[in-house]
Amino acid sequence: MNELFHQLGASLYIPATNKDLALIASGQKYTNLKSMIFCTEDSIIEQELELALNNITESLDLIQPNNSLKFIRVRNLEVLKYLITQKNIEKIHGFVLPKITTQNINDYFYILDKAQKPFYIMPTLETKEVFCNEEMKDLRKIFLHEKFKERILAIRIGGNDLLNTLGLKRPTNHTIYETPIGNIISNLILIFKPFGFNLTAPVFEYLDNNEILQAEVKRDLINGLFSKSSIHPCQIDIIENLYKVEISDLKMAESILFNKGKQAVFKMNESMCEIATHYNWAKSIIERSKIHGIANNLIPV
């Protein structure tokens, strides 16, 4: 697992037309932000694209070094081709690639291979092809190629776009797991995660129902999804408080990881701990604790 993955936290989606891009990217605004995605795609209209690209290039000059991870969601191949040639683009950690299929991923990588920096990528699965398991397995074969896999920080699931293909919108009082997309998320986990790919959780688009947001983040974690995109700064702490690790889980993970061959199986907290089957879980828990800390069970609403 790439060590940067858990640092994504609640990635804030920001339209690339935002006048404060440089302040946000420099950590001077939203100081709790671990990662951000400047969007040139669905969050802006076509007529704003030139403004957005100019805003990004001007902001690149002004970004000050800090620990936050910075990505740009490109609109299309031409936007990626333009951005990788811009001065100071190395200040960006990578790119979110939209609507990825077996038909376009090689075109994106052809452009990325020309970049001076080996940028991370986060392909987004959000088209009708996602509903075909064979298509996703074919895409997995491409991702597993050496030149792809080492760059893929995470695979993003475009929940709203997938619902749109069905003519649906998520109900206010239900998690995405209670829609038809719940089964699709499970399929994507089973297709990609066993082969070493991290997957992020779909965005929650409501700002007035923190109870459902919390319930959905808990389901994300149960399903092995991490890093949920936030659409507003008010969602960041709500999401990331749930990424904190329970002290009992941390103690169990440490016992599993640092057992040093003393026992193959042991009991702890009235639970069976087996080194062979719980080792990967333990590594993930310890990594999360380093970045997000220990839960105090006081989650703001």
Q: Residue 300's pLDDT is what?
A: 45
pLDDT band at residue 274 under the 50/70/90 scheme = confident
pLDDT band at residue 257 under the 50/70/90 scheme = confident
Q: Residue 192's pLDDT is what?
A: 98
Residue 105 CA, chain-centre distance (Å), reads 18
**143-186 tens-digit pLDDT:** 999 888 999 999 999 999 999 999 999 999 999 999 999 999 99
User: Domain limits of the chain?
Assistant: 5-241, 247-292
Q: Residue 261's pLDDT is what?
A: 58
Secondary structure class of 42 (helix, strand, coil): coil
**Residues recorded for the chain:** 301
> What is the rounded distance in angstroms from the CA atom of residue 263 to the CA atom of residue 255?
10
CATH domain 5-241 topology: TIM Barrel (3.20.20)
pLDDT band at residue 223 under the 50/70/90 scheme = very high
pTM metric for this prediction: 0.93
**80-125 tens-digit pLDDT:** 999 999 999 999 999 999 999 999 999 999 999 988 889 999 999 9
> What is the rounded distance in angstroms from the CA atom of residue 199 to the CA atom of residue 79?
24
Q: Is the pLDDT of residue 297 over 60?
A: no
Comparing CA positions, the residue from 295, 179, 213 lying closest to residue 247 is 295
Burial bucket for residue 55 (CB in 10 Å: 0-12, 13-18, 19+): buried
